Amino acid sequence: MKGLFSALLVPYDENGQVKEQGLREIIRNNIDVQQLDGLYVNGSSGENFMLTTEQKKEIFRITSEENNGAVKLIAQVGSINLDEAIELGKYATELGYDSLSAVTPFYYKFTFDEIKNYYDAIIEATGNNMIVYAIPALTGVSVTLEQFDQLFENEKVIGVKYTDGNFFMLERLRKKYPDKLIYSGFDEMLIYGAISGVDGAIGSTYNIHGKLAKQIFDLVQKDEVAKAYEVQHVMNDIIEKVLELGLYQTLKEVLKVKGIDAGTVKKPMSSFDPAKQEAVKKLVEDFNL
């Protein structure tokens, strides 16, 4: 389960329905072109929190079929509706996903005991492994080191997707839990996570430049940190431009330039501004995406 995972993009049509063929093309790009080690399915990059339960299942199914055992699969099933999280967890487990993941429950001010019970309930109902998805900037939930101690008491909690800029906490987690999987979740900070000893990373922009992310990770493993920094500079130049143009919209437009039917974003997100099309083409050309 170590390595680089794409936070899988999902193409939608103008009515908000999943474009199956386009999704299969995005999956193939991640596996065959970007040569990533796995796919993180139905996370933020898949616009998951705007989907129906049936759409989430559809994405899990299509991804499992197209992957056909090629790379590792992690199913993000988190929801503030625990029944839905369990239903999705059972479904992904039946499809053979290598692990589940779940965002910390959000919106309501859940106590830590409630959060821990949420993870334990999903694990008990599915029998599958769990990767905690910690992203406090979006959920408002910060898990302390002592709370991670309690979460990791469940042997089925095998790791964490750590999308946080607190590198002191990351270092403390790495030192205390050398046998747990820690994935870096900030693409623009990949090198810092790699230097801190993470086991891998999960990123949305890897859909278009996964090969660069792998270079960074591999160079750090070889203690060639200066070279890794140079690659991170290039990757961050790309990320900076993508963010300027609109994150998910631009990632999909880049894939379209490459001949992949990446569809549009799910409403209420705004569709891509056609006036920015030339800027996307230039981005693809300038960085050989």
Return binding residues for aceneuramate. 44-45, 163, 185, 187-188, 204
Give the model confidence (pLDDT) of 94-131 as tens digits: 999 999 999 999 999 999 999 999 999 999 999 999 99
Give the rounded percent of residues in the chain with a pLDDT score beyond 70: 100
Can you read off the two tokens belonging to residue 122? Answer: 């999903």
pLDDT, tens only, 167-216: 999 999 999 999 999 999 999 999 999 999 999 999 999 999 999 999 99
Binding positions for pyruvate are 202
Q: What are the extents of the domains in the chain?
A: 3-287
Annotated binding site: 44-45, 163, 185, 187-188, 202, 204
- Region of 229 (left: φ > 0; alpha: ψ -120 to 50; beta: rest) is alpha
Active site residues: 133, 161
Q: Convert the pLDDT of each residue in 30-39 to its tens digit.
A: 999 999 999 9
Q: Output the average pLDDT for the chain.
A: 97
Amino acid, single-letter form, for residue 276:
K
In contact, 88 and 117? CB cutoff 8 Å: no
DSSP state of 30: I
**Pairwise CA distance, residues 183 & 171, whole Å:** 13
Q: Phi first, then psi: what are they for 129, rounded to 5°?
A: -75, 160
In DSSP terms, 134 is beta-bridged to 162
What mean pLDDT comes out for the span 28-49? 98
User: Which CATH fold would you assign to the domain 3-287?
Assistant: TIM Barrel (3.20.20)
Q: What is the pLDDT of residue 63?
A: 98
SS3 218: helix
* pLDDT score of 137: 82
For Cα atoms 93, 53, 252, give the angle at the middle one, nearest 5 degrees: 95
Residues pairing with 195 in the sheet: none
